[in-house]
Chain A
Amino acid sequence: MSTDERRPADPAQVLAHDDLMGRALMVRAENVHKSFGHLRVLRGIDLAVRPGEVSVVIGPSGSGKSTFLRCVNHLEKINAGRIWVDGELIGYRERGGKLHELREKEVAAQRRSIGMVFQRFNLFPHMTVLENVMEAPCRVRREPKSAVRERAAALLERVGLADKLDSYPGHLSGGQQQRVAIARALAMQPKLMLFDEPTSALDPELVGEVLDVMKDLARSGMTMVVVTHEIGFAREVGDSLIFMDGGVVVESGPPREVLAEPKHERTRSFLAKVL
């Protein structure tokens, strides 16, 4: 894949180049709106992520970036617009010009191919590290335990925790817990990984080890949408940078361009504060 092909797709062009179901895109969001009561959190988000691409979403807190990420795997229901993942409409089925809500089981099935990593890790504290990673493949996909154990151990080795298989999450550092959480998501062999501020709850000296795992994952070709404050990560591995503020995408483009020459005043003032 040449670097040119990995360039972020301009949503308008994408609509012209890809079919209406959004095929050939891993994630396609179209005019997504979301409100909590009277609070309008998302006010028309468009996004296109190609397979293998790393999209980094930045923006001030309260800009709606985490909410948008949670909409992608239907943890939040959107009020308007559409989101497709790998050509599949998320949360609904369109039939006869009408939207039908998906059943709980169908939503669960869609989530199986979307991994998610949370700011607060959310590991299951009553299970060991290995059990945390094995839970979903064993329970959801009903794979044989021995095969899952092997894969889980390999994943934990990949994130540098081969010696912690039988530890409980409460006995690990924040950085170690977040690496377990990444391995847990990868155990379902997802097509897409969502990261919701994965390093924001970590002590500064532990941020690096988590970012290293994420960089490794990005280089292996995983499609990722990363909400973060780590501008360096965006510059190093991001294929596109999306700056959100006030529930809209203010500016997006290749990270180096956006970071070097932000076109909008709001982007400029935000970057001035975080860089």
Chain B
Amino acid sequence: MTSEVSVERARPEAIKAVPVRHPGRWVAVGVLGVLVAMFIHFLVTNEHFEWSFVLSDQVMFSQPVLEGLRGTILLTVLSMLIGVGLGIVLAVMRLSPNPLLSTAAFGYTWFFRAMPRLVLAVLFGNFGILWSRLSLGLPFDHEIGALFGLHNFEARIYSVRAVDLLSGFVAGMLALALSEAAYMAEIVRAGIQSVDVGQSEAAEALGLTRGQTLRRIVLPQAMRVIVPPTGNETIAMVKDTSLVAYTPVTWELFFQLQAISHRTFDVFPVLVAACLWYLILCSVLMVIQYYVERYFSRGYGARKGRPAPLVEPTGPGGVIHEH
């Protein structure tokens, strides 16, 4: 430390300056305060809101609405899980040196980003028109059989009526999930490309395989870039679940709320209830996102420590001010 050799000087009086005034801020606070007060007054006094009805077990907490809420949450979780999983696979394919894989991933993204989710939701609900049965087995078994002169050749292990599998919930969920995968693929690709190439070089120089490098080194770092837009996507997904009403799926929040308004002819309170539920769901998601982001930003930023103090601080105030 240099303090021992430098001449200790008397510390001058601490600065007590008159701070700069910000009259503009006070005006803004006043205007906003009045606007907020007007809004609350309007919420409380306008009787068309029918708050007691909205918050009662006839609307927000009625049995079908709570069921619908569970359906919406389940749809969001499942379609996001599939969407993120498939999105990672598509992003890795897209970045693969194999032109066939990258073209396939590009084609998938191209198609599903072009399709409105509403159209997909309706489309998936009507797949029963294309196939009566869905089977698992040897592809082209009829054609292969015909080549060898067998007309009733079938090599199918398992088959199910298309309407049973692809109607309602599964169809709506797949429509959302497959569409989501296309968007997630682009987000994950951006994340992977944001990681310095030196990272994979260092990993490969240590003898890690390409798969290990991706899983252990590249993806965890890409997550910092991937998580915020994924939070966006999840919140958008909560709201897009209302589209599956057209598949049709009835096990969903907005459909159940609308059913109440159709029955009671009370339109506005039901819409308010919908707003409240979506607000609550998205608020919870934002809290979760905060913690996920914090986890993946470990090792970054100056919050826990500044970039490399060259001299360790030696206690409160350091040596210089001590006597």
Contacts and interface: CB of A to CB of B under 8 A. Distances in A.
Interface residues of B, number: 29
B216 A122 contact: no
Interface stretch (B159-167, B196-204, B277-285): B196-204
A73 B203 CA distance: 12
Nearest to B206: A136
A135 B206 contact: yes
Interface in B166-222: 196, 198-199, 201-210, 212, 216-217, 220-221
B313 interface: no
Nearest to B306: A171
A124 B217 contact: yes
B216 A168 contact: no
Interface in B281-297: 296
Interface string A118-152: 10101111111000000110011000000000000
A184 B206 contact: yes
B294 to A, nearest CB: 13
Contacts of B196: 122
Contact of B299 (A108, A126, A140, A174): A126
B201 A122 contact: yes
B283 to A, nearest CB: 29
A122 B196 CA distance: 9
Contacts of B207: 108-109, 111-112, 136, 140, 188
B114 to A, nearest CB: 35
A185 interface: yes
Nearest to A137: B206
A168 B299 contact: yes
Contacts of A188: 206-207
Contacts of B210: 104
B202 A118 contact: yes
Given A104-B210, A168-B298, A171-B307, A111 B205 contact: yes
A4 to B, nearest CB: 34
Given A104-B209, A111-B207, A122 B198 contact: yes
Most chain B beta-carbon contacts within 10 A, residue among A125, A184, A185: A125
Contacts of A139: 208, 212, 216
A118 B196 CA distance: 13
A174 B310 CA distance: 10
B208 to A, nearest CB: 6
A168 B221 CA distance: 14
B268 interface: no
A170 interface: yes
B204 A75 contact: yes
Nearest to B304: A171
A123 to B, nearest CB: 8
Contact of B208 (A116, A120, A140): A140
Nearest to B312: A163
A126 B298 contact: yes
A173 B308 contact: yes
A75 B205 contact: yes
A21 interface: no
B300 interface: yes
B315 interface: no
Contacts of A104: 209-210
B24 interface: no
Contacts of A115: 205
A273 interface: no
A170 B300 contact: yes
Nearest to A109: B207
Most chain B beta-carbon contacts within 10 A, residue among A75, A108, A109, A174: A108
A226 B46 CA distance: 79
B305 interface: yes
Contacts of A123: 202
Nearest to B295: A126
A112 to B, nearest CB: 4
A169 interface: yes
A105 interface: yes
Contacts of B212: 139-140
Given A111-B204, A170-B300, 13 more contacts: A73-B205, A104-B209, A118-B198, A120-B198, A122-B198, A136-B207, A140-B212, A168-B299, A168-B300, A170-B301, A171-B307, A173-B308, A185-B205
5 closest A-B pairs by beta carbon, nearest first, are A112-B207, A122-B202, A168-B299, A136-B206, A173-B308
